[in-house]
Chain A
Amino acid sequence: MPKIPLFDLPVLPQNRLPLHLQLQKTRVFCNNDAPTNTEDITYSGAYAALGVDNSLKLDEFRNNFKVKVIKLNEEDMEFDLIGIDASIANAFRRILISELPTMAIEKVLVANSSSVVQDEVLAHRLGLIPIKVDPRLFDYMSENDVPNEKNSIVFSLNIKCDRKTGERLTVYSHDLKWLPFGSEYVLPTENSSDPSSKPKTYTSFTSSQDSFPEFSDNPITVTPGIIISKLGPGQEIELEAHAVKGVGKTHAKWSPVATAWYRMLPEVVLLQVIENEDAQKLVNKCPVNVFDIEDMGKGVKRATVARPRACTVCRECIREPGWNEKVALRRVKDHFIFTIESTGALPPEVLFTEAVKILEDKCESVITELS
């Protein structure tokens, strides 16, 4: 930072900080050895001595907050949140990973398994398969609840490897069949008093899930193509899997995102004019081509920062001695580049909206608890 005498500092309008303090408030300095200035200056009276009010003004927040969507398709999305604090961005990320509900296989009833894969390993693998259904259509099932059409989904897997061919058979996730009428396995009860009534199964579906408007044209499927197991000749698997609603906090199989992460926008600033040989060196050093050479005419070539967003802050450009004064690597503290990769249950933009709703609900529950 160049040192300017106190009387030469630029005069700013009221309620604006001097430039060096603004830099300290809004940028993380990524130095050669470690990042500095990483703390958030959120205290409302932090700049009280200067007469600047640092408190939260909702109108200012509303005016300054921006969202820019960079990429959006059914599986993942990348968007920018500008003007929000790290604690709230992190809260969204944590909720996306662990507190958004999904459906996943929880109970596996194995009728027959002669495969080499142990039952519990098979059940664990089945649990991790993503189920493409909107979890908001289902209710949670507690210990005392009976499994019915509102809180569980039943899949069956009946597969046998033919002995004649002599080849191994791969069991894929699309071999799981959805049973909209519920479980087909009968409960082992001694009930000979009523032979004409339907035998009780492991689930009590009063109506078929097929009849629900959401599922009538849209059968519930799992992500296809995932290898569950392999069978040798003559081996077979016969099982039923029941899926229930849960959150990622309990077990990672219920997490609706493959992952969700954010990074702060990197800022690359050339502190000095870099020309000719130095400029070429700089362009060659950067592995992601952040810098470009600009021809200034008269044989003078200058380096410019072309793609700061692509910078991975690998610090190659400031590694050698002396380059620290030429290039400054910083991160903008309130600009977050979010990436959400969904597993297929819900599209990523819906996931983010639900995550924000969950944070609102948490605040509401705190307010009601205090009142």
Chain B
Amino acid sequence: MEHGSYKDQSASTFSLAEDHTLANALRFTLNQDPRVSVCGYSIPHPSEARVNIRVQTTGDSAKEVLKDSCQDLMMICQHVRSTFDQAVTDFKNNNGSESE
């Protein structure tokens, strides 16, 4: 859910059914995007799984910038996964050959 203004697309608050797990990681990738001037998140009430992510950009649409940050986070995750799998396979091969 996006709360913003129709006239000014560059600043809006996104209310998502998430928690710190995704919100903090998204805040990191958002902060790293050069188009973002302000970004942060807050949890309105701890009993309700809702997080408000605030994005203010230097002109671009806030929705697009958030989508790009999600894409960046996905790329990071995919790279982490492939590097991890490679490291596990290498470890197993090295240790397998040592025990033989």
Give me the interface of A with B, judged by CB distance under 8 Å: 40, 42-45, 53-56, 58, 61-62, 65-69, 72, 79, 81, 84-85, 87-88, 90-91, 94-95, 99, 349, 352-353, 356-357, 359-360, 362-364, 366-367, 369-371
Contact = CB atoms under 8 A, between A and B. Distances in A.
B83 interface: yes
Contact of B74 (A45, A91, A364): A364
B67 A367 contact: yes
Interface residues of B, number: 43
Contacts of A61: 76, 79
A360 B34 contact: no
B51 to A, nearest CB: 11
B9 to A, nearest CB: 13
A66 B80 CA distance: 9
Interface of B: 2, 14, 16, 18, 20-22, 24-29, 31-34, 36, 63, 66-67, 70-81, 83-88, 90-92, 95
A62 B79 contact: yes
Nearest to A360: B77
A357 B80 CA distance: 10
Given A44-B31, A356-B80, A72 B70 contact: no
Contacts, number: 119
B32 A55 contact: yes
6 nearest A-B residue pairs (beta carbon): A56-B32, A69-B91, A67-B87, A87-B24, A42-B31, A87-B28
B66 to A, nearest CB: 7
Given A87-B28, A359-B21, 12 more contacts: A40-B28, A55-B33, A58-B76, A67-B80, A69-B88, A79-B84, A87-B24, A88-B28, A91-B21, A91-B24, A356-B80, A359-B77
A369 B16 contact: yes
A208 to B, nearest CB: 35
Given A353-B84, A362-B21, A369-B16, A87 B91 contact: no
Contacts of B84: 67, 79, 349, 352-353, 356
A325 B85 CA distance: 43
A84 B33 CA distance: 16
B87 A94 contact: no
A67 B91 CA distance: 11
Contacts of B77: 356-357, 359-360, 363
A56 B29 contact: yes
21 contacts: A44-B31, A55-B34, A58-B79, A69-B90, A72-B92, A79-B84, A81-B80, A88-B25, A88-B76, A90-B21, A356-B77, A356-B80, A357-B81, A359-B73, A360-B74, A362-B18, A362-B22, A363-B26, A366-B18, A366-B70, A370-B67
